């Protein structure tokens, strides 16, 4: 496969979209977020937390207090690939709020 074909295949791939939770096993705290790239969402969040760069101060404080080993990433819900990009934002927000309420979680 040449570079053009590889680039084309990369752009054409379908990434899982949906809702996820970050849980602190020590404190029991839960944060819920939405992502257009569930397969890489954990890597991004963990990178920010390791560098003390995360925009959520409560999550960052819990990470600093309890350490990486106390945290886990969980996929809560994946959306169908046929969801329109125009509807994806509304669906993400609605489902994220549902999970926040169901888990007594904070927004991420």
Cα 6–4–86 angle (5° rounding)? 70
29 within 8 A of 62, measured Cβ to Cβ? yes
Give me the residues paired with residue 106 across strands: 31
Let me know if residue 99 belongs to a domain. Answer: yes
**Residue 87: domain span:** 12-107
Q: Which of 29, 11, 17 is nearest to 83 (CA)?
A: 17
Position 1 scores a pLDDT of: 67
Q: What is the pLDDT of residues 40-89, one digit of tens each?
A: 999 999 999 999 999 999 999 999 999 999 999 999 999 998 888 889 99
93 within 8 A of 87, measured Cβ to Cβ? no
Q: Which of 79, 99, 93 is nearest to 30 (CA)?
A: 99
Let me know if residue 7 belongs to a domain. Answer: no
Higher pLDDT pick, 35 / 12: 35
Q: Please report which confidence band the pLDDT of residue 104 belongs to, taking 50, 70 and 90 as the band edges.
A: very high
For the chain, the domain total comes to 1
Let me know if residue 6 belongs to a domain. Answer: no
Let me know if residue 22 belongs to a domain. Answer: yes
Let me know if residue 3 belongs to a domain. Answer: no
């Amino acid at each position: 496969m040449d570079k053009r074909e590889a680039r084309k295949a990369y752009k054409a791939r379908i990434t899982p979209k949906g809702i996820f939770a970050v849980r602190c096993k020590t404190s029991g705290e839960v944060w819920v977020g939405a992502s257009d790239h569930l397969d890489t969402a954990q890597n991004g969040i963990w990178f920010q937390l390791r560098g003390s760069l995360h925009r959520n101060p409560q999550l960052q404080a819990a990470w600093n207090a309890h350490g990486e080993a106390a945290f886990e990433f969980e996929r809560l819900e994946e959306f169908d690939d046929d969801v329109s990009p125009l509807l994806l934002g509304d669906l993400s927000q609605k489902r994220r709020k549902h999970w926040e309420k169901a888990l007594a979680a904070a927004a991420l």
